[in-house]
């Protein structure tokens, strides 16, 4: 009966002027207009599953994925056959890195709606996320047989081809998407994000023409600005490049919910909580397995390079940026907080991490990598639940690192990176917390400076392997010859020998980087004080 009432509300929503106005605001990217309308409507009618789904979409747009998931599960509780909501749930799970759960939802949808190409497209992406690349590519090819005129599916196919190192095929897929929709900004950015492709004059003209259109979405617009920034930078036109990066970042920033003060508060809390006495009192807590190797730090700091080097070792498997540590930290908070965890609870959380990440392991190698950069904030928590895990801090010159982030549009996450001031504060907070752990847990974290890797690859690799307790293998120096899949923005860069291409790129745009310098403060002058 409840499901019937909910299904009726779906039909009513199509005729409701208020909800239609909210839907239009969502389409046009006016989230600040849509949110109060939807919340007011749901206060009057809390069982309107169409409105619940729309509010979930809004939450997903600003990357509040847990809120979106809770709303969608509520909608499905009211209307179990609400297929669109279940499809949205699969998307939200995938975006949280819980792709195995997304695949389970999509398999259920396949039974109820076998011809849905959008669900098939999402399943292919999810299969790639869990490492089933051959199956993912085969599914994309099947989908394109029936949806060859869908540019976004060509784009997703291009993403998967890029991941497995088939760059020429990826470019061809992206070009096919643009032939179908020349104004699709994300595809232009995908080409720019290959890092090794140079835009020609026709490409620049096409992007500028798309930007001049009045009917493109905010997402297309900021993607085009990022791509044009890359094109102008390639032409060494620094002022024009910065102008595009600045506009793209500013537009993206308006669509995200990020508060630098919250990051600062989290860092202050961690520094207060994780003391020498804290760990001394909890000696023996956690799961003893030494299997995980965490690579933490800022994005664009060389973590993918370190992962590629270590994954070339016969005893180490590369996986991806795993979402499990933040998820387990949230669970610990729900259990009363990290400080109150018993020895058994800390061990169980560590064992859960090992179980849940097993799906990412495709070999019997004894060690595996989790390279979610943002795990730096959870260094103390990792030490508590996995005391024998290794933690590698990938660090790069703050100006190079932050500028590289500023000109990078991330598919999701990294909300701090769309403002020079936010980014400088984030970098300074990260350095401050890692310095704290150097004092509290001396020698527990191994720091790798990107510039030192470039200057002395073998020496830095030997030092890293010594810290990990692994024998030196020459294959680690030939990391660029590996054919493993790479999912991050550095995928094409780590398929080349070591080089200095990314060093000092910020200097051409130094006149406009004042807010970043100010926010970094003494961290900039001190680099690389911590060794």
Q: State the pLDDT at residue 353.
A: 97
205 and 183 Cβ atoms separated by less than 8 Å: no
Task: Name the band, by pLDDT with cuts 50, 70 and 90, for residue 172.
Answer: very high
Q: State the pLDDT at residue 513.
A: 97
Q: State the pLDDT at residue 10.
A: 59
pLDDT, tens digit, 9 for 90 and up, residues 370-380: 999 999 999 99
Task: Name the band, by pLDDT with cuts 50, 70 and 90, for residue 477.
Answer: very high
Mean pLDDT of 189-209: 94
pLDDT, tens digit, 9 for 90 and up, residues 82-104: 999 999 999 999 988 888 899 99
344 and 282 Cβ atoms separated by less than 8 Å: no
Residue 494: how many other CB atoms lie within 10 Å: 22
Mean pLDDT of 168-190: 96
424 and 402 Cβ atoms separated by less than 8 Å: yes
Task: Write down how long the chain is.
Answer: 531
Please name each of the domains of the chain with its CATH number: 260-526 (3.40.50.300)
Separation of alpha carbons 309 and 304, rounded Å? 9
Beta sheet of 292-297, edge-to-edge order: 316-320, 367-370, 292-297, 390-395, 445-449
8 has pLDDT over 70: no
Closest to 341 in 3D by CA, of 322, 328, 355? 328
481 has pLDDT over 50: yes
495 has pLDDT over 60: no
Mean pLDDT of 50-58: 92
Q: State the pLDDT at residue 6.
A: 53
Three-state SS letters, 73-136: HHHHHHCCCCHHHHHHHHHHHHHCCCHHHHHHHHHHHHHHCCCCHHHHHHHHHHHHHCCCHHHH
Q: State the pLDDT at residue 491.
A: 47
Task: Name the band, by pLDDT with cuts 50, 70 and 90, for residue 61.
Answer: confident
**% of the chain exceeding 90 in pLDDT:** 73
Q: Is the pTM of this model over 0.85?
A: no
Mean pLDDT of 33-49: 90
**% of the chain exceeding 70 in pLDDT:** 93
Residue 365: how many other CB atoms lie within 10 Å: 15
Task: Name the band, by pLDDT with cuts 50, 70 and 90, for residue 485.
Answer: low
In sequence order, which ranges of 324-472 are alpha helices (DSSP H)? 324-334, 343-356, 379-385, 398-406, 420-440, 450-455, 457-468
| Contacting residues for 423 by C-beta, under 8 A, at least 6 apart | 402, 405, 406, 416, 417, 516, 519
Separation of alpha carbons 491 and 493, rounded Å? 6
pLDDT, tens digit, 9 for 90 and up, residues 118-171: 898 899 989 988 888 899 999 999 889 888 899 999 999 999 999 888 999 999
What is the biggest distance separating any 2 CA atoms in the chain, rounded to whole angstroms?
69
446 and 392 Cβ atoms separated by less than 8 Å: yes
13, two tokens: 């929503």
531 has pLDDT over 50: no
Would you give the distance in Å from CA 233 to the centre of its chain?
24
Q: What is the mean pLDDT of the chain?
A: 91
329 has pLDDT over 50: yes
Separation of alpha carbons 463 and 398, rounded Å? 23
Separation of alpha carbons 400 and 407, rounded Å? 11
Task: Name the band, by pLDDT with cuts 50, 70 and 90, for residue 3.
Answer: very low
Separation of alpha carbons 452 and 457, rounded Å? 7
| Contacting residues for 60 by C-beta, under 8 A, at least 6 apart | 68, 88, 91, 92, 95
Q: State the pLDDT at residue 52.
A: 93
Q: What are the φ and ψ backbone dihedral angles of 297, each rounded to 5 degrees?
A: 135, -160
Q: Beta strand pairing status for 390-395 and 292-297? A: parallel
DSSP characters for 305-365?
HHHHHHHTSTTEEEEE---HHHHHHHHHHHTT-GGG--HHHHHHHHHHHHHHGGGG--S--
Q: State the pLDDT at residue 7.
A: 57
Q: State the pLDDT at residue 111.
A: 87
């Amino acid at each position: 009966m409840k499901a019937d009432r909910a299904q009726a509300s779906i039909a009513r929503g199509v005729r409701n002027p208020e909800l239609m106005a909210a839907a239009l605001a969502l389409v046009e990217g006016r989230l600040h207009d849509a949110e109060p309308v939807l919340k007011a409507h749901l206060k009057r009618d809390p069982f309107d599953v169409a409105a619940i789904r729309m509010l979930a979409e809004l939450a997903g747009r600003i990357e509040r994925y847990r809120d979106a998931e809770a709303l969608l599960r509520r909608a499905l509780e009211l209307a179990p056959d609400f297929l669109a909501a279940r499809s949205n749930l699969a998307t939200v799970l995938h975006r949280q890195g819980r792709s195995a759960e997304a695949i389970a939802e999509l398999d259920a949808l396949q039974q109820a709606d076998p011809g849905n190409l959008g669900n098939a497209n999402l399943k292919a992406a999810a299969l790639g996320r869990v490492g089933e690349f051959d199956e993912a590519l085969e599914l994309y090819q099947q989908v394109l047989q029936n949806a060859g005129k869908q540019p976004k599916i060509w784009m997703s196919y291009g993403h998967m081809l890029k991941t497995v190192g088939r760059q020429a095929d990826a470019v061809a897929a992206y070009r096919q998407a643009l032939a179908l929709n020349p104004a699709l900004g994300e595809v232009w950015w995908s080409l720019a994000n290959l890092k090794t492709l140079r835009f020609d004059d026709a490409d620049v003209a096409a992007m500028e023409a798309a930007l001049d259109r009045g009917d493109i979405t905010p997402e297309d617009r900021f993607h085009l600005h990022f791509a044009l920034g890359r094109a102008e930078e390639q032409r060494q036109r620094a002022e024009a490049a910065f102008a595009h990066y600045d506009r793209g970042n500013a537009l993206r920033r308006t669509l995200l919910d990020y508060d630098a003060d919250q990051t600062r508060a989290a860092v202050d809390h961690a520094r207060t909580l994780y003391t020498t006495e804290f760990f001394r009192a909890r000696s023996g807590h956690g799961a003893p397995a030494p299997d995980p190797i965490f690579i933490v730090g800022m994005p664009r700091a060389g973590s993918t390079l370190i992962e590629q080097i270590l994954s070339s070792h016969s005893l180490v498997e590369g996986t991806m940026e795993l979402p499990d540590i933040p998820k387990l930290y949230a669970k610990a908070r729900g259990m009363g907080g990290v400080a109150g965890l018993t020895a058994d609870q800390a061990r169980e959380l560590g064992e859960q991490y090992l179980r849940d990440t097993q799906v990412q392991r495709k070999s019997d190698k004894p060690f595996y990598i989790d390279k979610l950069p943002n795990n730096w904030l959870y260094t103390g928590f990792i030490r508590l639940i996995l005391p024998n895990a290794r933690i590698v801090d990938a660090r790069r010159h703050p100006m190079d690192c932050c500028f590289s982030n500023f000109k990078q549009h991330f598919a999701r996450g990294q909300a701090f990176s769309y403002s020079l001031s936010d980014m400088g504060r984030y970098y300074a907070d990260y350095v401050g917390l890692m310095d704290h752990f150097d004092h509290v847990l001396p020698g527990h974290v191994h720091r790798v400076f990107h510039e030192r890797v470039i200057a002395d690859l073998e020496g830095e690799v030997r030092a890293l392997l010594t810290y990990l307790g692994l024998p030196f293998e020459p294959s680690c120096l030939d990391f660029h010859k590996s054919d493993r899949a790479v999912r991050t923005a550095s995928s094409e860069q780590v398929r080349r020998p070591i080089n200095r291409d990314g060093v000092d790129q910020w200097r051409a745009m130094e006149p406009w980087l004042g807010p970043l310098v100010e926010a970094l403060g003494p961290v900039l002058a001190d680099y690389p004080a911590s060794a």
